[in-house]
C-alpha cells in the first residue's frame, strides 16, 4: 500500500525526522488559509498523487504571495497530472499540500528499501538529489552509497558514518545526517515499510537536513498490525475494477488486449498471458482467482472481465490441484447462469478429475463454451475466437 | 534417489490441529509421507489424525526424531514458529503459510541460517519427492516418478510443468516450490547443486518470474557448475512495468528483474529457455532424447 507525501510527512514528524511545516488542502480556499497559517512569504504548492515525477509534470510550484498560492491552487487542483510513473492517462489531482519554503544549499537523496539478495534493509544515499534515482543508478552507480543494516543489530552510528563520509559531507554536517538516517531507519522498521524515498533530501544553509519530499510504501502483509496506516489508504488512487476484484479475493489488473483471462495462481496467470502473446494474441487482463475457484468467484471474474468492452473472448485456465476440476466445471456452468457471458469462453481444466470436468462441460452443451485440451490449445482457441476466426 | 526428502523422512506439522494443517497433513499421510506428529500449543498429550500432538517443537523432536517441519501456522505466528523449529534442531522447515510480514521473515530466515536450518517458502506449495514423500499442498497424483528435477517460484506453474513432463512419458525426482515472496528460503542457487549431485536427476526444470534477481544469480551458477540440461521458463514477459502481479516478488521497476533480462542471462548460460509454459514438456523431451 502506498500513501501520499503529506501522510508520509505526518509519520516522519512522529519520529523527529525533520520536514518543513505544511498542511493538506482539498479546496482553493483551504489552500490559502493553510498558507496564512504557515506565515512567511514563500510557499510550495504540491499536487498529492501516488506517483513520482510530479515536479516535472507541473504539479509542484513555488508561490511568492497569497494571490499566487490562490492561482496555483486553482491551476493544480483538478488537473490531470501526467508523469513518467502515471502512464499516459495521468492522474486527477484531488488534494494539494501547502508547504513553507526552505532555504536550499544542496539536494541529496536518501532511501530505505529491502535488499532481497542480502535479505536486510539497505539505506541508499546519493548527492544527486532531485534526479530520477533509477537514472543515476543506471548511468553512475558509483554515485549511490548503499549500506545494509543487519536487523539483529539495528542501525548503528557506523552505518551513518559510512553514508555520511561516502557522501563527502562536511565535518559539522555529519552528526545531523547520522541522526536523520537513524530516525528514518526507525520509521522504516517500526512501520513495516516496504520502501521510503526522500528525493530531494535538502541540506539547508545552516547545515541541517530536511525531508523536502517523502514517499512511502508498506508491506501489505503487515498492515494488520498498523491500523493507523491502513486508515491512510486513499481508495481514489486505486483502479475501481482492481479494487472491486480484491474485495472478492480476486487479483485483477487491466491490460490493453482483447483476450480476457481467468486463471488460478499468479504464476500460471502470467504464464497464460505470455502464452496468449506467444501465439499472436493480446491479453486483456491479469486475473488470479486464487485457490478457491467456485461459482461465485468465477461469476465475479466474468463480470469484472466483461466490464472491459475490448474483451472478445475469455480464456479460463485452471490447474485443479486440491480443488477438483469437476467442481470447477460446475462452478463455471453456474456462473454462466449468474452472468450474461456474451463472448466465447474457452475452458481448459487440467489436474484432478479433469476428464470428469470435460464430460460435464460437454454434456451441458452451452454454445459459448469451448473446451481446450491443454494450455497451448486453449490459448490458440481463445486468440482465434477474439479475432473472429473459425474455431 | 531424490533431494532433501524421501520415504524415510520424519516430518512434524506446526499448526497441526488447525483447519489447513489438518486437511493437508491428512493428504500428506495418504500420500505416504511419514508424518510422526504435530505441534499445537496447549494441545500436547492429545492425538490428532492418530498422531501425537506436542506443545513445543522441542518435545516433538525429542519424542519422534523428526528432522523436517511443515509449517501451517497463521501469518502473524510464522516467524515464531520458524525460529522455534530452528532452535529445536529441525533440519528443514517447509513454510506453506501465505501472508507472513517481510520484516518477520528477515529475522526468522537469518536465525534459521544461524542455526543451520534450511527453509523452503513461505507462501509456497512445498516439496515433493515423487511417490515417496509430499510435504506441502500440491496435488500428489500428477507427480510420477522419473528423472527430472523441478524448481519453481509459482505453485500452479509447478503443477503445470510437472504435468507436462509426465505427459511426455518422463517423471519427477523431486519438485520444490520455493515461493515468490521477497524473503524466501532455499532458492535456485542452493537447489541446483543438489539436483546436479543426485544421480537419478537427468534434467532440471526451472520456472521463474519477473522481479528480483534470483534467476540471474542462478544463470551465473549454472554456467559455472551445472552440467545437466536445464529447461527454463520465466513468467511475466507480457506484464506491464511497475505492476504487481499477485506475488510480492513479481514487481518490476525499471529494467531490473524483467523477464527479458532473465531469459537472456539464462540463454547465455546455455539454458534451454522456452517462451511459453506450454512448451516446457516438449522441451524437456527434446533435451532428454538427445
Does domain B138-289 correspond to CATH entry 3.40.50.970?
no
Give the pLDDT score at A389.
62
CA distance B197 to A252: 41
Instruction: Give the pLDDT mean for B1-12.
Output: 94
Give the pLDDT score at B118.
98
The rounded percent of chain B whose pLDDT value lies above 70 is 94
Q: Is the pLDDT of residue B102 over 80?
A: yes
Determine the residue of chain B that is closest to A349 in CA distance.
B160
The rounded percent of chain A whose pLDDT value lies above 70 is 98
* B125 contacts in chain A (CB < 8 Å): 321
Determine the residue of chain B that is closest to A250 in CA distance.
B246
- What would the pLDDT profile of B157-186 be if each residue is shown by its tens digit? 999 999 999 999 999 999 999 999 999 999
Q: Is the pLDDT of residue A353 over 50?
A: yes
Is A286–B239 a contact, with Cβ atoms under 8 angstroms apart?
yes
Catalytic residue among A128, A173, A197, A237: A197
- What would the pLDDT profile of A151-204 be if each residue is shown by its tens digit? 899 999 999 999 999 999 999 999 999 999 999 999 999 999 999 999 999 999
CATH code, A21-101: 3.30.1490.20
Q: Is A258 helix (H, G, I), strand (E, B) or coil?
A: coil
Q: Is B38 helix (H, G, I), strand (E, B) or coil?
A: strand
> Does a cis peptide bond (omega within 30 degrees of 0) precede residue A165?
no
Is A283–B110 a contact, with Cβ atoms under 8 angstroms apart?
no
Q: Is B182 helix (H, G, I), strand (E, B) or coil?
A: coil
For chain B, first and last CA: distance in Å? Answer: 23
Cα–chain center distance at B265: 23
Which residue of B154, B163, B207 is in closest CB contact with A266? B154
pTM score, whole prediction: 0.91
Domain ranges of chain B: 10-120, 138-289
- Second-level CATH architecture of B10-120: 3-Layer(aba) Sandwich (3.40)
Q: Is A247 annotated in the active site?
A: no
Give the pLDDT score at B253.
37
Q: Is the pLDDT of residue B243 over 60?
A: no
- What would the pLDDT profile of B116-160 be if each residue is shown by its tens digit? 999 999 999 999 999 999 999 999 999 999 999 999 999 999 999
Candidates A221, A242, A243, A252: best to mutate against B (most CBs of B within 10 A) is A221
CA distance B6 to A145: 46
Among A322, A316, A335, CA closest to A375: A316
ipTM of predicted assembly, 2 dp: 0.90
Candidates B82, B121, B141, B160: best to mutate against A (most CBs of A within 10 A) is B160
Is B209–A270 a contact, with Cβ atoms under 8 angstroms apart?
yes
Q: Is A228 annotated in the active site?
A: no
- What would the pLDDT profile of B8-64 be if each residue is shown by its tens digit? 999 999 999 999 899 999 999 999 999 999 999 999 999 999 999 999 999 999 999
CA distance A54 to A85: 9
CA distance A114 to A225: 19
- What would the pLDDT profile of A63-120 be if each residue is shown by its tens digit? 999 999 999 999 999 999 988 777 788 889 999 999 999 999 999 999 998 888 889 9
Question: Buried (b) or exposed (e) across B136-149, using 16+ Cβ within 10 A?
Answer: bbbbbebbbebbbb
Give the pLDDT score at B3.
95
Catalytic residue among A5, A97, A99, A109: A109
Same fold, B10-120 and B138-289: yes
User: Given CB atoms, is A322 within the 8 Å cutoff of chain B?
Assistant: yes
Instruction: Give the pLDDT mean for B241-250.
Output: 44
* A253 contacts in chain B (CB < 8 Å): 240, 243-245
The mean-pLDDT minimum among A123-132, A288-297, B19-28 falls in A288-297
Give the pLDDT score at B248.
32
Helix, strand, coil in percent for chain A, rounding step 5: 40, 25, 35
Please calculate the CA angle B33-B39-B43 and round it to the nearest 5 degrees: 130
CB atoms within 10 A of CB A68: 16
Length of chain A counted residue by residue: 391
Nearest Cα of chain A lies from the Cα of B279 at a distance, in angstroms, of 8
Fold for domain A240-386?
A: Rossmann fold (3.40.50)
Q: Which helix or strand (DSSP H or E) is residue A145 part of?
A: strand A144-148
Does domain A1-20+103-238 correspond to CATH entry 3.30.470.20?
yes
CA distance A320 to B279: 19
Which residue of B180, B182, B240 is in closest CB contact with A114? B182
Give the pLDDT score at A375.
95
Instruction: Give the pLDDT mean for B259-288.
Output: 96
Is A274–B236 a contact, with Cβ atoms under 8 angstroms apart?
yes
Nearest Cα of chain A lies from the Cα of B97 at a distance, in angstroms, of 12
* A220 contacts in chain B (CB < 8 Å): 248
Domain ranges of chain A: 1-20+103-238, 21-101, 240-386
Amino acid at each position: 500500500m502506498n500513501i501520499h507525501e503529506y501522510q508520509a510527512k505526518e509519520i516522519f514528524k512522529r519520529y523527529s525526522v525533520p520536514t518543513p511545516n505544511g498542511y493538506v488542502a482539498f479546496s482553493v480556499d483551504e489552500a490559502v488559509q493553510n498558507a496564512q497559517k504557515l506565515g512567511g512569504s514563500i510557499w510550495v504548492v504540491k499536487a498529492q498523487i501516488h506517483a513520482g515525477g510530479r515536479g516535472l509534470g507541473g504539479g509542484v510550484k513555488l508561490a511568492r504571495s497569497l494571490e499566487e498560492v490562490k492561482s496555483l491552487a486553482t491551476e493544480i487542483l483538478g488537473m490531470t497530472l501526467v508523469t513518467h510513473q502515471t502512464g499516459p492517462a495521468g492522474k486527477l489531482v484531488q488534494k494539494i499540500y501547502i508547504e513553507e519554503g526552505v532555504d536550499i544549499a544542496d539536494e541529496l537523496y536518501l532511501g530505505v528499501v529491502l535488499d532481497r539478495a542480502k535479505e536486510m534493509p539497505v539505506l541508499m544515499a546519493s548527492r544527486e538529489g532531485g534526479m530520477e534515482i533509477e537514472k543515476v543508478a543506471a548511468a553512475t552507480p558509483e554515485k549511490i552509497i548503499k549500506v545494509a543494516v543487519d536487523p539483529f543489530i539495528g542501525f548503528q552510528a557506523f552505518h551513518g558514518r559510512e553514508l555520511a563520509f561516502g557522501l563527502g559531507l562536511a565535518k559539522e554536517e555529519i552528526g545531523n545526517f547520522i541522526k536523520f538516517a537513524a530516525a528514518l531507519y526507525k520509521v522504516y522498521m517500526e512501520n513495516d515499510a516496504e520502501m521510503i524515498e526522500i528525493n530531494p533530501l535538502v541540506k539547508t544553509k545552516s547545515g541541517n537536513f530536511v525531508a523536502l519530499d517523502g514517499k512511502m510504501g508498506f508491506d501489505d502483509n503487515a498492515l494488520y498490525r498498523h491500523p493507523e496506516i491502513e486508515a491512510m489508504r486513499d481508495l481514489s488512487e486505486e483502479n475501481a475494477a482492481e479494487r472491486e476484484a480484491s474485495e472478492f479475493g480476486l487479483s485483477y489488473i487491466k491490460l490493453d488486449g482483447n483476450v480476457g483471462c481467468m486463471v488460478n495462481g499468479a504464476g500460471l496467470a502470467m504464464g497464460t498471458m505470455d502464452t496468449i502473446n506467444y501465439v499472436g494474441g493480446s491479453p486483456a487482463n491479469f486475473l488470479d482467482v486464487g485457490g478457491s475457484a467456485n461459482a461465485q468467484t468465477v461469476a465475479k471474474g466474468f463480470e469484472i472481465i466483461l466490464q472491459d468492452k475490448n474483451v472478445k473472448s475469455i480464456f479460463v485456465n485452471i490447474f485443479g490441484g486440491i480443488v477438483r476440476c469437476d467442481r470447477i466445471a460446475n462452478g463455471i456452468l453456474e456462473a454462466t447462469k449468474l452472468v450474461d457471458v456474451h463472448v466465447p469462453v474457452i475452458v481448459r481444466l487440467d489436474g484432478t478429475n479433469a476428464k470428469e470436468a470435460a464430460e460435464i462441460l460437454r454434456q451441458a452443451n452451452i454454445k459459448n463454451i469451448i473446451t481446450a485440451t491443454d494450455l497451448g490449445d486453449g490459448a490458440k482457441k481463445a486468440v482465434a475466437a477474439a479475432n473472429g476466426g473459425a474455431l | 534417489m531424490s533431494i532433501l526428502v524421501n520415504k524415510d523422512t520424519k516430518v512434524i506439522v506446526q499448526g497441526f490441529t488447525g483447519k489447513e494443517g489438518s486437511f493437508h497433513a491428512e493428504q500428506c499421510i495418504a500420500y505416504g509421507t511419514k508424518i510422526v506428529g504435530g505441534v499445537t500449543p496447549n494441545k500436547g498429550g492429545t492425538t490428532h489424525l492418530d498422531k501425537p500432538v506436542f506443545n513445543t517443537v522441542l518435545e516433538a523432536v525429542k519424542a519422534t526424531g523428526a528432522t523436517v517441519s511443515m509449517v501451517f501456522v497463521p501469518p502473524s505466528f510464522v516467524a515464531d514458529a520458524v525460529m522455534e523449529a530452528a532452535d529445536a534442531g529441525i533440519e528443514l522447515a517447509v513454510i506453506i503459510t501465505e501472508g507472513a510480514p517481510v520484516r518477520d521473515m528477515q529475522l526468522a530466515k537469518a536465525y534459521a541460517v544461524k542455526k543451520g536450518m534450511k527453509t523452503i517458502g513461505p507462501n509456497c506449495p512445498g516439496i515433493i519427492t515423487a511417490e515417496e514423500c509430499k510435504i506441502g499442498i500440491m496435488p500428489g497424483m500428477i507427480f510420477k516418478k522419473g528423472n527430472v528435477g523441478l524448481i519453481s517460484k509459482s505453485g500452479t506453474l509447478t503443477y503445470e510443468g510437472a504435468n507436462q513432463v509426465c505427459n511426455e512419458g518422463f517423471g519427477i525426482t523431486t519438485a520444490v516450490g520455493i515461493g515468490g515472496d521477497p524473503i524466501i528460503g532455499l532458492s535456485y542457487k542452493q537447489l541446483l547443486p543438489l539436483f546436479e549431485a543426485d544421480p537419478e536427476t537427468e534434467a532440471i526444470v526451472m520456472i521463474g518470474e519477473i522481479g528480483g534477481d534470483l534467476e540471474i544469480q542462478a544463470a551465473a551458477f549454472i554456467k559455472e557448475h551445472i552440467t545437466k540440461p536445464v529447461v527454463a521458463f520465466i513468467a511475466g514477459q507480457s506484464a506491464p512495468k511497475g505492476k504487481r502481479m499477485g506475488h510480492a516478488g513479481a514487481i518490476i521497476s525499471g529494467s531490473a528483474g524483467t523477464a527479458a533480462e532473465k531469459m537472456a542471462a539464462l540463454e547465455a548460460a546455455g539454458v534451454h529457455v522456452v517462451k511459453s509454459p506450454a512448451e516446457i514438456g516438449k522441451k524437456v523431451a527434446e533435451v532428454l532424447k538427445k
